Amino acid sequence: MAQALDTSLLHQPAHSPSWFSLQRALRGRRADLVDFCIPCNPYFPSPEMLEQLRQGMVDILTYYPSDSATITAEACGALGLNPQTVAMGNGSTELITWIDHLLLRESVAVPVPTFGRWTDQPMETGKRVDMFPLREEDGFKLDVDAYAAFIRQRGSRAAVLCNPNNPDGNYLAKSEVLRLLDSLADLDLVVVDESFIDFTDAEPDPSVADQAVLRPNVVVLKSLGKNFGLHGVRFGYLVANPALAGRIRGALPRWNLNSFAEAMVFLLRDHLAEYRESLRIVARDRQEMFRNLQAVPGLGVLPSQANFLLTRLPEGVDGALLRDALFADHGVFIRECGNKLGMSSRFLRLVVRPVHDQQRLVSGLLAVLYGAGATPGWPTSPLPPVPQGLPALPPGAVPQVAVPQIAVQQIALPPLPMGAVPPPPGYRYG
């Protein structure tokens, strides 16, 4: 049985602790920790790209990077964008900060729950944040007409939309996003945060970035770190008409991008096919993980178009206690949503990971919730096969590793019925 660990680091008022903070706190006692919290792409960069980065490590650490214009031009060449319509930042949160300082005036409308910086950043600079509640009974889906009416009623001068949304993974069809942009053409600014849109497979061309460059008040935000599985590199970009993009570029430091970002950008052009394949595999794993989580009695699972799934715990279960037990006793790190506006501790955001990691997560959930490694109807080994119609992974794409034996330790949680919790009226959980 794993040695008891101090879980106080997990009790953050806003965001989850960093991976580095966790590793320092663990001091090697949990080398097998599996991360279901931080939304990375587990299949990119490819091993070949990582080897190239390793070979260049001394130069990357030793020398200054090129200026941001050089790195931006290369990224735009690889992604098919006009550099005049792009501003690259040291992470998407740097761009959110400058959008707030330069483009937001007195008020902004934001659906909640969503990514916390869209509410926190404007409030930190004294803006009025008009929060539009997304309802659980609607599966946290955004109603475009209701949101537009709310903006009019509140008199908001700007609006934000995250698509897909974080933490629920709901995706708004491109036609609906464009309809919203049309209805808000008189606002100072509308931001569409597409940080997770590359994981979407609901339609072939989901982004509205091509439309943003034609509109005077629209900014589309992208996060290369989330898509590429490289949060530590810190690079994101926005797309807007040349005037808006130029205003942000003019405020950014000339050398705001680091050498890791430059090295990665200059590798990208030759590895786009591998990137697209990684997205296909994540989509396959998402379907598998949705189905596997559905098999946990009492757990509600929302469909998602991002690389994470929002799950609802059975009535009476404290998500913070469950998170601590999964971390300390099972080596599983998850995102409990009790500190997100519009959410409660009953919700967990679980990042999509390979199938062998999913088995580790499900075994831990069953052990903590029910005091057992398996329940009737749940197969212990192997996990169910990929659903009919999904293409099989190429050999070696998902390494098959042995799932470690997990010590079962039940924590003091209220007894739960073995049947599924009934969904709220009007919406069906998976």
pLDDT at 228: 82
| Separation in Å, CA 272 to CA 40, 175, 206, 276, 343 | 17, 27, 18, 6, 36
pLDDT at 425: 35
pLDDT at 29: 61
Query: Cβ-count burial of 320 within 10 angstroms (0-12 exposed, 13-18 middle, 19+ buried)?
Result: middle
pLDDT at 429: 53
- Check pLDDT > 90 for residue 305: yes
Cα distance between residue 339 and residue 322, in whole Å: 15
Find where tokens 């908001």 sit: 156
pLDDT at 268: 92
For the segment 351-362, the average pLDDT, to the nearest whole number, is 96
pLDDT at 10: 67
Who wins on pLDDT, 427 or 217? 217
Judged by average pLDDT, the poorest of 39-48, 76-85, 345-354, 389-398 is 389-398
| Helix, strand, coil % over all residues of the chain, rounded to 5 | 40, 15, 45
Mean pLDDT of the chain: 85
- Check pLDDT > 70 for residue 416: no
pLDDT at 59: 96
pLDDT at 5: 62
* CB burial readout 43-81, b (16+ within 10 A) else e: bbbbeebeebbeeeeeebeeeebbebeebbebbbebbeb
- Whether residue 340 contacts residue 115, with contact meaning beta carbons closer than 8 Å, is answered with no
- Check pLDDT > 60 for residue 187: yes
pTM score of the predicted model: 0.84
pLDDT at 424: 35
Q: What is the pLDDT of residues 4-16, one digit of tens each?
A: 566 666 676 656 7
Q: What is the pLDDT of residues 124-162, one digit of tens each?
A: 999 999 999 999 999 999 999 999 999 999 999 999 999
For the segment 49-57, the average pLDDT, to the nearest whole number, is 95
pLDDT at 232: 81
336: helix, coil or strand?
A: strand
pLDDT at 374: 42
Q: Which tokens in the block code for residue 401? A: 């590793």
pLDDT at 413: 40
pLDDT at 422: 35
* Alpha helix ranges (H) inside 137-213: 144-154, 174-183, 209-212
Who wins on pLDDT, 170 or 229? 170
128: helix, coil or strand?
A: strand
Among 330, 288, 323, CA closest to 309: 288
For the segment 244-253, the average pLDDT, to the nearest whole number, is 96
- Check pLDDT > 70 for residue 199: yes
Q: Which residues contact 313 (CB under 8 A, 6 or more apart)?
A: 298, 299, 319, 322, 346, 347, 348
Who wins on pLDDT, 425 or 89? 89
Q: What's the sign of the alpha-carbon dihedral 393, 398, 402, 404? A: negative
Among 42, 95, 55, 25, CA closest to 401: 42
pLDDT at 32: 81
- Check pLDDT > 80 for residue 414: no
Who wins on pLDDT, 237 or 393? 237
Q: Which residues contact 43 (CB under 8 A, 6 or more apart)?
A: 229, 277, 278, 281, 282, 397
Judged by average pLDDT, the poorest of 26-40, 133-147, 211-225, 310-324 is 26-40
